[in-house]
Amino acid sequence: MTDDQDFAGQDLTGQDLSGPSSDGPSSDGVDRGRFAAGDLALFIDRKGRTYQHALADGGSFHSHLGELPHDKLIGEAVGGWYATNRGHVLLAIRPTLGDYVRLMPRGPQVIYAKDLGNIVAMADIFPGATVVEAGFGSGALTTALLRAVGPQGRVHSYEINPSVVPKALANVQSVIKDTSRLQVTVGDIFDGIAEAAVDRVILDLPEPWRAVDAAADALISGGILLSFLPTILQVQELTLTLNDDGRFARVETAETLLRGWNVTRRSVRPAHRMVAHSGFITTAVRCVPRYVAPRPADTEPADAESTEPAED
Ligand SMILES: C[S@@+](CC[C@H](N)C(=O)[O-])C[C@H]1O[C@@H](n2cnc3c(N)ncnc32)[C@H](O)[C@@H]1O
């Protein structure tokens, strides 16, 4: 928003700043172009500061910029401009999942949009998939997974610390109203995975190599294991365990570097700041165990001659 779009000090009482109306309901009958009670709104002030708020009948948004009754937004345009009682104009849009995760109440360390997108893509999470994840944490990754599996899919989340579950669940439900496709198990995933014929196992916890055996048992052949880890020594331990297990192939690790750009008429340059490191994404595909012929040295005395062909 530019300075001339801020009307601080002017009497805007009764003025409609919400702009053009939306095009009406989508094919599913929901008018996503207008706010409804229960929706999340993201307010953006003239300095670009963001405020996330759930709209409720009779509710109100309060900040140092003044008060904005929710009833002024409910039924009105998403992407409209709304004045507080102190004459400050706020742009109101829907938060993206990335916005929501950045601003939501926190428990354990969350995964941000930069990595959420690649996790969903690199684990190839698809509509209808059955996904097991651990841990539930603050619910950020779970929300992305639930969206990706869609109405026909399921997400089973293991969380060892029961105290984080209520906040994580509330976070998920702020974005996804119907969480009937989510099952949260309070327990240690290292003790085993109860679900069978699972399409994907997603691990965001400190020692994922301890879940490799259980993941291999639970995954369908061709299923994908993905782990998100902050340090490369953890990645090495996981990679060696996956390779030693014998039921995984295509074990690969990558990280995501995301750099914003500042684009104006006078200058176009990279943003001064970026998140240099968050975590490594390791993926592996559950395969039929590969037959590895015993090496002569494994089975025969050192001086014996082997008749087995050499493995590559
Ligand atoms: C980094 S947080 C997960 C954050 C989550 N992915 C998110 O985006 O909000 C790690 C979580 O794993 C849980 N955890 C650690 N070890 C576990 C285990 N063996 N089984 C289940 N959960 C575990 C922790 O209690 C913590 O809540």
User: pLDDT tens-digit profile of 218-237?
Assistant: 999 999 999 999 999 999 99
Q: Any idea which fold 3-95 has?
A: Vcp-like ATPase; Chain A, domain 2 (3.10.330)
Residue 27 has pLDDT above 80, yes or no: no
Beta carbons within 8 Å of 14's beta carbon, 6+ residues apart: none
CATH number for region 99-286: 3.40.50.150
Percentage of residues in the chain having pLDDT higher than 70: 88
Tell me how far apart the alpha carbons of residues 37 and 172 are, in angstroms, rounded to a whole number: 18
* Closest alpha carbon to 83 in 98, 105, 65, 107: 65
pLDDT at 296: 78
Torsion of CA 34, 37, 38, 41, to 10 degrees: 50
Instruction: Give the position of tokens 């399921």.
Output: 154
| Cα–ligand 1 centroid distance for 205 (angstroms) | 5
| Cα–ligand 1 centroid distance for 159 (angstroms) | 6
Residue 284: C-alpha distances to residues 224, 247, 253 (Å): 6, 10, 9
DSSP lists the bridge partners of residue 286 as 248
The structural domains of the chain, with segments of one domain joined by +, span 3-95, 99-286
- Tell me the two tokens of residue 29: 């009958």
Residue 151 has pLDDT above 90, yes or no: yes
Does residue 135 have a cis bond before it (omega within 30 degrees)? yes
Task: Give tens-digit pLDDT for 1-26.
Answer: 444 445 555 555 545 565 555 567 77
Element of type H or E holding 80: strand 80-83
Counting ligand 1 atoms within 8 A of each CB, the residue from 101, 110, 116, 136 with the most, and so the one to mutate, is 136
Section 275-285 average pLDDT:
96
